[in-house]
Structure 1
Amino acid sequence: MDPSRITLRPFKLSDAADMLVWAGDDRVTRSLRWKTLTSKDEALAFIEQVCIPHPWRRSICIDDCSIGFVSVFPGSGDDRCRTDLGYEIGVEYLGQGITTRAVKMATAQVFNDFPEIVRLQAFASVENKASQRVLERAGFVKRDC
C-alpha cells in the first residue's frame, strides 16, 4: 500500500455509505463501545451526532474513502495532560500497515492540536495481539496496568 494514499480527515456526512461497510461488520464493532450499524441512516446519524461533534475523531481514508477511524479522548481536570487513543479499521484492510500508519499520523497531529498533552496512551486487550503490534510499531511502549 502506497502510504501517500492514506489520510486522516474529519468525518463528512457523505461518508455514511463507506462507514456502513466497516461499521456494519460485527468483526469490526465487537471491540467497540457502540453497536454494529445496520443501515445508511444509522451511519449518517452516527456521523452527525457522534463523529462530527467529537473533539478529535478522524476518518482513516484510502483515496478519500472512509475505511476506519482513529480517535483521541482528551482528559480533563487533573487528567488534562493525557489522552487516550482508539482506532478501528475494516477487516479487508487488516495486515497491510494501514492502521500503524494512521496511528503514527494521529500521534503527530494530536500533539500539535493539543499542546497541553504530555502523554498519549492506548489500551489493547491481552487477546488482541494485532492491536498490540500496531501500537508497538507506532512507537508506543507496553506497560502493565
Structure 2
Amino acid sequence: MEEGRETLGVKLRNFELRDVDDFMVWASDEEVTRLCMWETYRSREVAENYIQKTAMVHPWYKAICVGDRAVGAISLDRSADTTSCRAEIGYVVARRWWGKGVASQAVHLALSTAFVDMPGLERVEGLVEPHNLASQRVLEKAGFVKEGLLRKYRRAKGRTRDLYIYRFLDTDLRQST
C-alpha cells in the first residue's frame, strides 16, 4: 500500500512529532485507555518522547488519520522470535470516532499491506478482552476468526486478563480478493 492511501476518508501514515497534541486526545482519555494494555498518558512531554523514540522508529506503527489529523494508532508487532511468521495487531481510536467505522477501515488498510511490508508474515493475531465487544466487532468485520479464549493470558494494569484470540491468515487475504 502506498503511504497515505485513503479508503473512505481514513488513511494510515507514519507518526510525526506534530501529532503529539492529537495523540494526547486519546492517550490521555481514561475512557479510551481503560480498554488498552498501556497506562493513560498524563504528560505531553512523555507522549512526545514516546512518539519520537517508539512510534517513529517502530517497523510498523502508524497514525490512523481522518483528513490529516491523527485520530488513533495502529501497530503490528512481530514476536521476539525473528523466525516468527506471526504478528499481533493493536489499535486505538479517539472516543469521538468510536462507532464510525474508523477502526474497521484502519484494520482493513493494515491487512492490505501487512503481508507485503513484513516478509514471512503468515498470521496476524488480535487479542481482545471478552467484555470489549466493539473491538471484537472490528476484527470480525475485517475477516478475523475467533479461535478461542486464552485464560489468564496477560497481566496489565495490575490484573491478569483473559483474552479472546482472533486470527487472520495470509490465505484469508487471497480468498477475500
Same-fold call, TM cutoff 0.5: yes
Of Structure 1 and Structure 2, the greater helix share is in 1
Q: Which runs of 5+ in 2 are unaligned?
A: 1-5, 150-177
Q: Report 1:1-145 matches (<5 A).
A: 3-77=7-81, 80-145=84-149
> How many pairs does the alignment contain?
144
Query: Percent of counterpart pairs with the same letter?
Result: 36
Q: Which moved more, 1:111-120 or 1:77-86?
A: 77-86
Give distance in 1, aligned partners of 2:85 and 2:78. 8
Between structure 1 and structure 2, the one with the greater Rg is 2
Deviation at 1:124, TM superposition (A): 1.0
Q: Which runs of 5+ in 1 are unaligned?
A: none
> TM-score of the superposition, structure 2-length normalised?
0.76
> Which 4+ stretches in 1 moved above 6 angstroms?
none
Deviation at 1:79, TM superposition (A): 5.6
Of Structure 1 and Structure 2, the greater strand share is in 2
- Secondary structure of the 1:38 match is coil
Deviation at 1:38, TM superposition (A): 2.0
> TM-score of the superposition, structure 1-length normalised?
0.92
Over the aligned positions, Cα root-mean-square deviation in angstroms equals: 1.6
1:21-47 deviations in Å (ceiling 9; x for gaps)? 111101111232322122322221110
1:81-135 deviations in Å (ceiling 9; x for gaps)? 1111011100110001110000010011111101200111101111011110000
